Amino acid sequence: MRILVLALAIVLVAAGHVAAQPSCGDPPRVDDQSLKGTLDGKAKFLSGIIGGANLKGELETARTDVFSKYPQADRTRSEAYLEYMLCSFVLSDPKLSAQDKLKAIQEFRQQGHSEDDHGSPGKLAVSIALNRNASVQKPAASASSTPAASAPPTALPAEQQFTYALTQDAGVTRISYRLPYLDLVRKGGPVSGLTYDRAPFAGELPDLLVTVLNTTKHAVVLTRALLDVHSSKLVNEPVPVFDEQSQNCLRISNQGWADIVDPTLQISITRDTGNIALFASEAHTLSPPTIADATCIPLRDYVPAALRRDREVKVSGTLGYGEAGDRHTLAFATHVKLDLRAGQGVPPDELYNLFFKAGQTGQVAADLQPAQEVKPDEAAAFLLRVKTDRTSQTAMTIGFTAIDGATINGGDFVLDLFVPRIEIRNWQNAGIKRQ
Amino acid sequence: MIPCTRASFLGAPLFFAASVALAQVTGEVPGDVTASKTDGGITVTSKAPGDEFSLTLPGSDIRPLSPERLKLGIDGRSIEIVTLHLGSDLIGKPDATVLALYQHSVEQYSRRDGWQLVPASDATMALPDGKSALLWRMQKQPPDPAQPGGLTLAAALNRGNVVALVGSTADAADQPALDAYLRAALLTLRPEQPVPPPAQGDVLNAGANLRQGLELLRLMFGEEARALVNRQLMTEADNDLPLATPVKPDVLMLGLRRALEDAGDKAMVTTVVFDGRSAHVLNVRAYDAKADAFTYWDPWGKGSFLGAGSNAAGVAATPHPTERRLWIVKADQLKRVVYAVELEGTAIEHVAAEIPLGAFGALGDTIQDAQQTDLFTWFHLQQIAVSKNAAGHPVVTFRPTAPQFRLLASLDVTTDATGRILAADLRLLRNFIDDKANTVFARDLANSFLRSATPARDMAWLEPLANQLRYAVQGRVFIGNSQAKALPEHPTDDYLTFLGKQPETKTQLSLTMLTLTNTTIDEKPGLVISLGTVR
């Protein structure tokens, strides 16, 4: 309803200021042809009495007629269609001047909607805000096994997490993202190399909290949400990211939606000796090709001879990029491993939850379901998520049992786990037995 | 503290450069060093295993002077920190004895550059932990106008190492203050707690580098494996690895295909891939020329590192339609990420026989290349015959033109049909090797052959034999200590074969097999030194 009011208001403003042929917008869809015909008739009738004293009463009568005859009709859509047809009749009436048309529609709007705004039958009030609470409670994950894809994202530093905020500016409600790393990039750095698994940044798209207050006398069932997109502008901005501890080459990825054009790298490679440099740096200038997605620049030719057998080196400098006249410079510092090790990164393919009660000793077992079959010459990786019910420091040995009864020791650990006192603890632990 | 004057600072670079030679004989760069700021300077901490220490250096204007040495400019002076690991025979000796030996060693090695001890400049002192330290000065003789102040060294022991400060100043008048500075700095020397080794889990998760991967193959199959490694991506450590031959990606792919062809149905070529972020090992099983694609087995439990979305290089391998755990990757995609191909010894010879990989070092790929080398020109090797071996490959025989050696030595070079070298065999008559007068020439020819016909990395295996050929000559007197040191404690098997005391030895080199065989040559006892791929 509110959308249509806005659309009509835009029509009116356009008619008043531009004096061009205004439009009533697109007709709302009404599939019931019989209902559609009735609404057409009522609209035509009402358009003929606009300006008359009895418009309000006739309008109410028309509504009552329609909805008593078609009790299953979509009320909102039917009213929208009625208004659309009325608008169309008025605008196409050659006997009315533009000024009269404007006045007639305004009058109809006032008559037609006064009861929604002030009338006794009540109203539907919708408010939309940014949801600042945790994400919507989802059903508890399967206790014994959850696909790795639904595991929580790896915790990233705050600098790598994007968040959303809602602001009001000159009557416009704006919901916008904030990414501290991007702020640094826009300032020219310095940025540090980022550590991440697959994506260097994490965050969730904004959840909009929709609150609907229904003070009408009838139930309303919302079946669709509509986004009326007025404009959408692509943000084409490169976002260079330097990997921390990339292997054997300086890896630069582009997390933005424009290429890193004409990059020039000024780098110096040193031993990392903390905040104070103990070794002088040797500067090098490189001009890699434009970076669309990612590039990895081998450093063998630039590593000082004395450092070539170091495990890792510090690489710092600046990255210049952008078209002539719109060049950007980003200062960075990261580390590159000079060793290449294969075999890392076998991805976990299952997640198993284990729960133990804090303060109690004993053995806790969880069935690995599905079981982990590791064939000869194969590697397997899976996640164990160990949970407890209170903040505690627990020493434990983690082990596994094979199908033939053999036990495999995974080592001794001390787990310091933090559990907030006020916490939802209703997750299930099916398949976990205390022995 | 001496204030840093503009004159002294500007004069520093020339002066510091002149002192480099001495600094490098005093010791090594401390490992794993970090620095933190203190109220009046910095504290340098080394976490090198077995040599953990910290040392505080006062100063207000502190800046690094060298990209490779731990040499700092501190308020106009140059201060370098070095460490020197003590030999096992010095462990347990009194500090004063060890430091005196260290001082003597520095003096000996720096004398050739004109450095001498300043008489009566020695000063001993006690550190807070009761250990002693030694401080002394050195000067250039004749005096160097560019370095009027000379050097001061202050050394003490930390665990099994000497830790020394090498100080220099451009201003001779600053020398006493420099001495005092070094003395005060050395008094702050503290042993640091050793860093515990990484937990077992960390080691297991760290993956294996190429050297470790090849060692694993050796342990599994009992035969030394070799690798072809992508020269565009390789690490310095892998470049240094004698077992790995750097090649272009095209050659690497070709090598992989040849290795698969060679192994047939049982092919399982260990292949390292690197996507720019992570490295992974695959077992490549087959090549389909029609589809220009490779089939491989991935040790991952599910999916594959080269599957779409699992790697950072955008490679999108697809599951094999019928075989579980097998994947198919297009050749052009694999080429983008291939890092190394690990091959058993015999497989590398087959590859080297078919692809020019530089297996014969300086001799090059063809006989024409070889004839330009010193081996041929120095010994005047002249072609005397061409025959064919059992496989039908041409064998070209050369002999020295010098009449006294012409019948004692010959060189056979086997090529393929295109003229590319497959093998080289040096034949030496036993009476040439054993002749008291001529043995030097026989050894020289053998040594030159080994050095010319192998890539430089093969010296990792050849060096002991080459040194014995050169130095282990009966009745020879060593001029320098280094010559004696170059000899192994006991004669090696290949050298014993050279001497005729063993029938045969084989050594797998990076791309070829070295064989020494005592046999008959022209019905006379002789030795054949062979370097071969598949002939």
In three-state secondary structure terms, B371 is: helix
**Mutation target vs B (from A197, A241, A247; most B CBs, 10 A cutoff):** A247
- A276·B36 Cβ contact <8 A: yes
Q: Give the integer Cα–Cα distance in Å for A65 and A45.
A: 13
Tens digit of each residue's pLDDT (9 = 90 or more) over B328-338: 999 999 999 99
The angle at the Cα of A153, spanning A139 to A198, to the nearest 5 degrees, equals 140
- B68·A304 Cβ contact <8 A: yes
Length of chain B: 535
The separation between CA B106 and the C-alpha centre of its own chain, rounded to angstroms, equals 26
The answer to ipTM > 0.90 is no
Element (H, E) at B260: helix B249-263
What DSSP letter does each residue of B42-99 carry, written as one string?
A: EEEEE--TT--EEEEEE-SSEEE--SSS-EEEETTEEEEEEEEEPPGGGTTS-HHHHH
For A374, name the nearest residue in chain B, comparing CA atoms only. Answer: B301
Q: Is the Cβ of A174 closer than 8 Å to some Cβ of chain B?
A: no
Question: Would you tell me which residues 231-290 of chain A have a C-beta closer than 8 angstroms to some C-beta of chain B?
Answer: 243, 246-249, 251, 253, 270-282
435 residues of chain A, pLDDT tens digit each: 333 333 333 333 333 333 334 567 677 778 888 888 888 888 888 877 776 767 777 777 887 888 888 877 777 778 778 878 887 887 777 777 777 777 666 666 665 554 444 444 566 777 777 776 543 333 333 333 333 333 334 578 889 888 888 777 777 777 888 889 999 999 998 999 998 877 888 877 777 777 777 777 777 777 787 777 888 888 888 999 999 988 888 999 998 888 999 999 999 998 888 878 888 888 899 999 999 888 889 888 888 877 877 888 899 999 999 999 899 999 999 999 888 888 644 555 667 777 888 888 888 888 877 777 776 655 566 777 778 887 788 888 888 888 888 787 777 777 777 766 654 444 433 333 333
> Which of B37, B65, B237 is closest, CB to CB, to A276?
B37
Nearest to B138 by CA among B163, B173, B156, B113: B113
Q: Which residues of B touch A277 (CB under 8 A)?
A: 35, 63-64
Nearest to A198 by CA among B311, B155, B201, B14: B311
Looking from the CA of B214 toward its CB, the CA atoms found within 13 Å total 21
Q: How far is A190 from chain B (nearest CA, A)?
A: 21
Nearest to B306 by CA among B295, B322, B291: B295
Contacts of B287 (CB under 8 A, 6+ apart): B256, B257, B260, B261, B293, B294, B295, B331
Nearest to A330 by CA among A398, A271, A267, A387: A267
- Is there a contact between B155 and B133 (Cβ–Cβ < 8 Å)? yes
Strands B71-74 and B115-117: unpaired
Q: Which residues of A touch B236 (CB under 8 A)?
A: 300, 303, 308-309, 338
Q: Which residues of B touch A378 (CB under 8 A)?
A: 299, 301
Two tokens, residue A310: 């170091």
End-to-end CA distance of chain A: 62
Quick one: pLDDT band at residue B476, thresholds 50, 70, 90?
A: low
Q: Give the integer Cα–Cα distance in Å for B132 and B423.
A: 62
Length of chain A: 435
Q: Which residues of A touch B65 (CB under 8 A)?
A: 280
- Where does residue B369 rank: exposed (0-12), middle (13-18), buried (19+ CB within 10 A)? middle
Q: Give the integer Cα–Cα distance in Å for B520 and B499.
A: 15
The phi and psi torsions of B383 (rounded to 5 degrees) equal -70, 130
Tens digit of each residue's pLDDT (9 = 90 or more) over B95-135: 888 888 888 888 888 887 788 888 888 888 888 778 889 99
Q: How far is A140 from chain B (nearest CA, A)?
A: 25
Residue in the structure block whose two tokens are 């291939």 = B338
Q: Which residues of A touch B237 (CB under 8 A)?
A: 309, 338-339
> Which of A253, A340, A372 is closest, CB to CB, to B209?
A340
The separation between CA A54 and the C-alpha centre of its own chain, rounded to angstroms, equals 51
For A250, name the nearest residue in chain B, comparing CA atoms only. Answer: B276
Nearest to A395 by CA among A430, A361, A345: A361
- Is there a contact between B425 and B516 (Cβ–Cβ < 8 Å)? no
Nearest to B158 by CA among B105, B84, B107: B84
Decide if pLDDT at B208 tops 60. Answer: yes
- Is there a contact between B432 and B456 (Cβ–Cβ < 8 Å)? no
Across B208-229, b (16+ Cβ under 10 Å) vs e yields bbbbebbebbeeeeeebbbbbb
Q: Which residues of A touch B44 (CB under 8 A)?
A: 278
- B276·A294 Cβ contact <8 A: yes
Two tokens, residue B162: 């000497």
- A341·B303 Cβ contact <8 A: no
C-alpha torsion angle, residues A21, A22, A26, A31 (rounded to 10): -90
Q: Give the integer Cα–Cα distance in Å for B424 and B369.
A: 13
Two tokens, residue A201: 């940044």
**Mutation target vs B (from A246, A278, A408; most B CBs, 10 A cutoff):** A278
For B202, name the nearest residue in chain A, comparing CA atoms only. Answer: A344
Q: How far is A430 from chain B (nearest CA, A)?
A: 26
Decide if pLDDT at B74 tops 60. Answer: yes
As a whole number of Å, the CA-based R_g of chain A is 33
The pLDDT of residue B212: 86
- A294·B301 Cβ contact <8 A: no
Q: Which residues of A touch B69 (CB under 8 A)?
A: 279, 306
Amino acid at B396: V
Q: Which residues of B touch A197 (CB under 8 A)?
A: none
Q: Give the integer Cα–Cα distance in Å for A354 and A212.
A: 41
Q: What is the residue-averaged pLDDT of chain B?
A: 85
Across B464-481, b (16+ Cβ under 10 Å) vs e yields bbbbbbbbbeeeeeeeee
- A341·B209 Cβ contact <8 A: yes
Q: How far is A339 from chain B (nearest CA, A)?
A: 6
User: What is the maximum alpha-carbon separation in chain B?
Assistant: 85
Please state whether the predicted TM-score (pTM) of the whole model is above 0.80.
no
Q: How many helices (H) and strands (E) does chain A have?
A: 6, 19
Nearest to B285 by CA among B259, B308, B304: B259
- B234·A303 Cβ contact <8 A: no
Two tokens, residue A339: 């060793």
Partners of B154 in beta bridges: B135, B165
**What is the mean pLDDT of the segment spanning B400-410?**
92
Tens digit of each residue's pLDDT (9 = 90 or more) over B350-370: 888 888 888 999 999 999 999
- A342·B234 Cβ contact <8 A: no
Looking from the CA of A23 toward its CB, the CA atoms found within 13 Å total 4
How many A-B residue pairs are in contact by the CB < 8 A criterion?
151
Nearest to B349 by CA among B419, B427, B259: B259
- Is there a contact between A368 and A348 (Cβ–Cβ < 8 Å)? no
> Which of A271, A298, A341 is closest, CB to CB, to B279?
A341
Q: Give the integer Cα–Cα distance in Å for B22 and B110.
A: 6
Q: Which residue has the higher pLDDT, B302 or B504?
A: B504
Q: Give the integer Cα–Cα distance in Å for B221 and A373.
A: 25
**Which range among A30-39, A379-388, B52-61, B174-183 shows the weakest confidence by mean pLDDT?**
A379-388
The pLDDT of residue B59: 92
